[in-house]
Amino acid sequence: KIVSQIKLPIENEMELFEKKFSGAMSSKVALLNRITHYVVNRKGKQMRPMFVFLIAKMTGNGTVEERTYRGASVIELIHTATLVHDDVVDDSNRRRGFFSINALWKNKIAVLVGDYLLSKGLLLSIDHEDFDLLKIISVAVREMSEGELLQIEKARRLDITEAVYFDIIRQKTATLIAACCAMGAQSVNAPKEEVEAMREFGELIGIAFQIKDDLFDYGEEKIGKPTGIDIKEQKMTLPLIYTLNTVPPKDKRWLINSVKNHNKDKKRVKQVISFVKDTGGLDYAVSKMKDYQQRALAILQNYPNSPYKASLELMVNYVIERKK
Ligand code: 2DE
Ligand code: MG
Ligand code: MG
Ligand code: MG
Ligand code: MG
C-alpha cells in the first residue's frame, strides 16, 4: 500500500510519535479521555506528521530532533481540534466513515473538546519554551479561523470569484500543511530560506489537497463523507465557481436558484452536481489541482535524491490520487 511505502523511511519516528501523541491528550476528566480515545482510535492518515518527519529528515541530513516530535504532536493536536470544530460548524455527522464527535456527544461537548485539544497543543510548545513553534502554530490557528469565517461570509453571496475561493482554501487548509512543512525544516535548524521554501511547498500541496477534498463532494469516490453537503451549505467550491462563470446567464440563474432553494426539491442537489460535471467544472478543478501538484514537485527538484525526497514525491501524488 502506498501509505506504508511513504512511511518506510520514517517508520521508527512515526512509531515513537504515536506514543507521544496519545499521551499528549490525556486528562483527569474521564469523559474527555473517553472522547479522545474515540478520536485516537479513528485516526486519519496522519499526513501532517508524515510531512513534518520527512521534511525534517530531508533538510536535516537524515536525522530528527526532539523538537521535531513536539512539532508533529502540536500540529496533530491542533489539526484534531479543527476537525472537531469543523464538524460542528458544518453540521456534519460523519468523519472518516465514523460518527463525528458532535453527532455522538452533541455540539456543547464537541466545542469544549476542540478547545481542550487546542489548549493542549499551545501548552506543549509553551512548556518547552519553544516559541518558534508557538509562533508558527498560532499564526496557523488565526488563519484557519479567518478562512472559515471568510467562507461563511462568502456563502451568503453566491457570486464568489475564483480568487476568493483560493484565498479561503489557502487560509482554512493550506496554512496548516504549510506550517507542518516549515516546522519540519525549522526543527532541524535548516536555514531561513529553506524553511520558507518548505512552507511554500506545503502551501502548494495544501491547496491541491483542498481542491481534492472539494471534488469528493461531487461523489466521484466512495468515501466516508456524505456528498452534496457543500452545495447544501451554499459553500461555493471550484467546480461550481467555474461553471457559474462560464455558462449563459439563464443557466447561471437556474444554478443559483437551485443552490439557494435546494430544500424545496430534493432532486436539485443531484441536478446541480450533474450540470457541473456536464459543463466541465470538475475537469477544470482537476486541471488546477494538477498545476499545484507540479509546482510542489518542482520545489523538491532542488534537493538531491534521497528516500525522504522520494517519499515526499509519492505523497504529493497521493494527495491528488487518493480515494479518501
Ligand atoms: C476543512 O474544510 C477545513 C478545516 C478548517 C477548520 C478550522 C476551524 C477553525 P472542510 P471536511 C473550524 C479553527 C479552529 C481551531 C484552531 C480549534 O471542507 O470536508 O469543511 O474534511 O473539510 O469537513
Ligand atoms: Mg467540514
Ligand atoms: Mg468546513
Ligand atoms: Mg477535509
Ligand atoms: Mg469538504
What ipTM was assigned to the predicted interfaces of this complex? 0.93
Q: Which of 80-84, 124-128, 166-170, 223-227 has the lowest mean pLDDT?
A: 223-227
Nearest ligand, CA 151: 3
pTM score of the predicted model: 0.92
Ramachandran angles phi, psi of 95, nearest 5°: -150, 125
pLDDT at 222 over 70: no
Confidence label for 225 from pLDDT (cuts 50, 70 and 90): low
* Orientation angle between helical segments 281-300 and 192-216, nearest 10 degrees: 160
Q: Give the residue-averaged pLDDT of 257-266.
A: 86
Report whether 186 contacts 132 (CB < 8 A). yes
Residues with CB under 6 Å of ligand 1 are: 78, 81-82, 85-86, 89-90, 92, 114, 118, 141, 144-145, 148, 172-173, 213
pLDDT tens, residue by residue, 295-320? 999 999 999 999 999 999 999 999 99
Provide the pLDDT for residue 170: 97
Q: Which of 92, 125, 148 to mutate to test the pocket of ligand 1 (most atoms within 8 A of CB)?
A: 148
| pLDDT for the residue 221 | 67
Q: What is the pLDDT of residue 265?
A: 80
Residue 123 Cα to chain centre, angstroms? 22
* Residue linked to cell 497543543: 121
Based on the number of CB atoms within 10 Å of its own CB, is 89 exposed (0-12), middle (13-18) or buried (19 or more)? middle
* 49 C-alpha to ligand 2 centroid (Å): 21
Rounded Cα distance, 77 and 59, in Å: 24
Bin 94: left if φ > 0, else alpha if -120 < ψ < 50, else beta.
beta
What is the distance between the alpha carbons of residues 50 and 46, in angstroms, rounded to a whole number? Answer: 6
The rounded Å distance from CA 321 to ligand 4 centre is 15
Ligand 2 centroid to Cα of residue 90, in Å, is: 5
* Cα–ligand 3 centroid distance for 146 (angstroms): 12
Of 8, 19, 303, 313, the C-alpha closest to 185 is 303
Among 17, 176, 40, CA closest to 98? 40
Which protein residue has the closest C-alpha to ligand 1 atom 14?
A: 82
Whether the pLDDT of residue 223 is over 70: the answer is no
45 band by pLDDT with thresholds 50, 70 and 90? confident
CA distance 213 to 319: 10
How does pLDDT run across 155-209, given as a tens digit for each residue?
Answer: 777 878 999 999 999 999 999 999 999 999 999 999 999 999 999 999 999 999 9
Strands (E), the chain: 94-95, 98-99
Nearest residue by C-alpha to atom 15 in ligand 1: 82
Percent of the chain clearing pLDDT 70 (strictly above) = 98
C-alpha 169 chain-centroid distance: 9
Is pLDDT larger for residue 152 or for residue 289? 289
Question: Is pLDDT at 78 greater than 80 in this prediction?
Answer: yes
How far is residue 233's CA from residue 236's CA, in Å, rounded to a whole number?
Answer: 9
Do the beta carbons of residue 244 and residue 256 sit within 8 Å? yes
**Cα–Cα distance measured from residue 103 to residue 109, given in angstroms and rounded to the nearest whole number:** 10
What average pLDDT does range 25-36 have in this prediction? 91
